[in-house]
Structure 1
Amino acid sequence: MIKIGILTFHRSINYGSFLQSYSLAATLKKHTDFEIEIIDYNMTTVELVNIIPRPFTQAVNEMVRYFRFRRAVYTELPVSKDKLISNKISKANQFIKNKYDAVIVGSDEVWKINRLRGFPNIYWLREELNCIKLSYAASANRTHFDKLDCVQKQYIKDSLKNFSYIGVRDQNTLNNLKKIDKKLVIKRNCDPAFLFDLEMTKNIRAALEIKLKKKYKLELNKPIMGIMCSNDTICRRIYDEYKNRFQIVSLYANVKYAHTYLYDLSPLEWAHVFSFIKLSITNFFHCSVFSIINNTPFISIDAEDSSVLYESKIKDLMRRAGLIEKYFNFKDKSFTWERVFYQIENCIKAPVDNRMELFAASEKKYFYQFVSELNGLFDNKLTVDI
């Protein structure tokens, strides 16, 4: 049997990273005859960042969440039998070499260049691994390509020329890779989170309902607003405006401006919690995605400085979904809270938006196109159930 390894950020203490890993592996397994395995690898620096709680005063809650994620890695994901935690590319190459017929890098920001993972790293698959190399929905979001030197750009060019298939998640990544090598054939993929099967995991929702009522004392017959935002100013303004109309819950961090922090949700519980929420406010990509697939009204507010320099992954998503009126850029000079509150009120008054369901369905076609190309790479040994 053909064996495929997925190299991604499955060990990150991040709901989106976990769920895209889960969804890609599960959907490939469902629609192919391949043996699918997530390569249980992480860099030492990233593993340490995951362990150290931020802020330290929230150590108990953060460690509870950490162990929820670690348990989920080994109970919910098809991870490899062996594990490697190392910053050394040579060790990572040896760990992967000769084990797979193909390695898929992605999804997520596997090609983002920053200090945490450094450059070069294993996610570019530069060395000979004796396998077919592919990327699926890879992103280099927030990478300053204009600051890369000639040696770095050549490394990227030399790496990608050995890929049999290059799939990216956003237009910005596609454009910048094309600038490095205009000969590259690059396809756009949907984020694997759009492949998440809510129906197959509906038993999670029933247990979550009890948890929200009993542990978090939420009144599910009253409106709940979910907030997942890293910017205190945004959190404060939303809280001050809506604290008397909504039960405001934080979906990721123990922000000061929320009534309740849902600190111990498993990744699969988090995927379903949006069905209990009347409205979500976020500056996170995957919070926007899971709002869409749960048909939950939402507002996305970009809050990073880089978002004014080029189109962010969130704006790319909202533009393609035809939901650009729900997108705001906190760093843009034209930003006003009046416009944000006006759009929030529109979401409250008219919560049903058929565009979300239609977009979620349309995104899946990119996955089936990817499977079709895999079929060609492996001489029609792959079967697809579309």
Structure 2
Amino acid sequence: MRIGILTFHAADNFGAVLQTYATQSYLEKAGHDVRVIDYRPESARKHYNRFGLRSGTAWVTAKKRLKFGSFRKKALHLSKNTHNDIASLAGSNQDLDAVIIGSDQVWNISSYRGYDRPFFEGISPEHNHRRISYAASVGSTVSFDPHEQEIREQLLKFDHLSVRDVVSREMVEKACGRIPTEVLDPVFLDDFEGVERPVPKLPEKYMAVYCLKRAEVFGQAVNAAKAKLQLPAISLGVLSPGADEGLIGIGPREWLYCIRNASYLVTNSFHGVCFCIKWKLPFFVVRMPGTDQQRLDDVLSRVGLSHRVIEGPDHVESAMDSPIDFTESEAKLAALRDQSTGFLAEALA
């Protein structure tokens, strides 16, 4: 089957590009002809161009963008044409048998992207392709208003619906009456064999730090953790409070290597947690004040690791003294993986 993937592949975000790669890889191993539809809306371009323009960070941003661009070019099988709007998208990819929308926060209409119609319609509402959502998420969206009627109509046209978390499931059910299947993020479906790239001069043992939202409480937790482990704290991809060193200009390949080879991870990232669960890496999550971390809570709950979330530095020692039973989590993960691959098999039969 000829399948197009429509997702957030063009974001310079580790989780975004790696979940895209994982979906592509899994489908190709299942025997399908797969391409990533190179949809890059103007709203996304403007958003990412806001970052790294100051002289102090421009070179780091440029280095990082080059590595992300190289990964997309070499690892993702992009469509022949790049599309910046819905009109351009509708005029191409007419040979596809199915379009898979997701994973990631493709239904988060409260983000800077707003209501981005292709993530509900596919390449065109008139095109007769099979429309499937895989592990789609509403992110921080709490209501589909003022687009609820239009979104309802489009959700009803999906041949198969799946989401990544319980909040997304509840919102979709409320919007259209259909109950979508809850599935795993696609990073759990691929082994990423041959994708990693070693990082020179990385310490033999280190604690990795991956922080998406900066706060004083996060830095305090990092300081407490590295004091207990007596290991250097290496920040991955972004500047993290409490880290001894920052590998800021790394790309997806190096990020994977650093995560897999770490002794421990302190994070507040959904995909950071996913790779810890996947690779049985000891970790804890710092709950950030005033932020909604339901996506994290959901995936941890599903594999029995909710206790890995801490409220602040006072809880670091007890969290690190509590061993993680990855045997139990792996058993639950295996069942969830079977459910997820079963959904895709049925949707593409």
Q: TM-score, normalised by structure 2?
A: 0.91
CA distance in 2, matches of 1:58, 1:36: 36
Q: Which of residues 187, 190, 214 is equivalent to 2:184?
A: 190
Deviation sequence 1:227-268 (CA, Å, 0-9, x none): 324223133202432444221011121235311111233313
Deviation sequence 1:41-99 (CA, Å, 0-9, x none): 11112123334434732221121111100111010011111112x2x333333344x23
Counterpart position of 1:166? 161
**Alignment of structure 1 residues 6-45 onto 2, 5 Å:** 6-32=5-31, 34-45=32-43
Q: CA deviation at 1:212?
A: 3.7
Deviation sequence 1:312-344 (CA, Å, 0-9, x none): 11000011010011024xxxxxx4532243103
1:35 maps to amino acid: D
Establish whether residue 240 from structure 1 lines up as the match of residue 223 from structure 2: yes
Establish whether residue 113 from structure 1 lines up as the match of residue 109 from structure 2: yes
Runs of at least 5 residues in structure 1 that lack an aligned partner in the other structure: 329-334, 377-386
Runs of at least 5 residues in structure 2 that lack an aligned partner in the other structure: none
CA distance in 2, matches of 1:230, 1:83: 31
CA distance in 2, matches of 1:337, 1:256: 13
CA distance in 2, matches of 1:238, 1:52: 30
Counterpart position of 2:334? 361
CA distance in 2, matches of 1:225, 1:75: 27
CA distance in 2, matches of 1:289, 1:141: 16
Q: Which of residues 242, 245, 253 is equivalent to 1:268?
A: 253
Establish whether residue 90 from structure 1 lines up as the match of residue 95 from structure 2: no
| Pair 78,181 (structure 1): closer, same or farther in 2 beyond 3 Å | same
CA distance in 2, matches of 1:242, 1:301: 11
SS at 1:305 equivalent: coil
CA distance in 2, matches of 1:121, 1:241: 45
Counterpart position of 1:317? 299
- Is the 2:210–2:268 contact (alpha carbons within 8 Å) kept by the matching residues of 1? no
Deviation sequence 1:143-187 (CA, Å, 0-9, x none): 021xx43x51111110011110001111110011111122x1411
2:40 maps to amino acid: N
SS at 1:13 equivalent: coil
- Is the 2:210–2:240 contact (alpha carbons within 8 Å) kept by the matching residues of 1? no
- Is the 1:107–1:136 contact (alpha carbons within 8 Å) kept by the matching residues of 2? yes
2:82 maps to amino acid: K
Runs of 4+ aligned residues of structure 1 deviating over 6 Å after TM superposition are: none
**Alignment of structure 1 residues 1-386 onto 2, 5 Å:** 2-32=1-31, 34-54=32-52, 56=54, 57-84=56-83, 86=84, 88-96=85-93, 98-125=94-121, 127-145=125-143, 148-149=144-145, 151-182=146-177, 184-198=178-192, 200-201=193-194, 204=196, 207-208=197-198, 211-213=199-201, 218-220=202-204, 222-244=205-227, 245-303=230-288, 305-307=290-292, 312-328=294-310, 335-346=311-322, 350=323, 353-376=326-349
Counterpart position of 1:382? none
| Pair 363,270 (structure 1): closer, same or farther in 2 beyond 3 Å | farther
1:9 maps to amino acid: F
SS at 1:37 equivalent: strand
Q: Out of 40-49 and 188-197, give the one that drifted further.
A: 40-49
How many positions carry a matched residue from both structures? 344
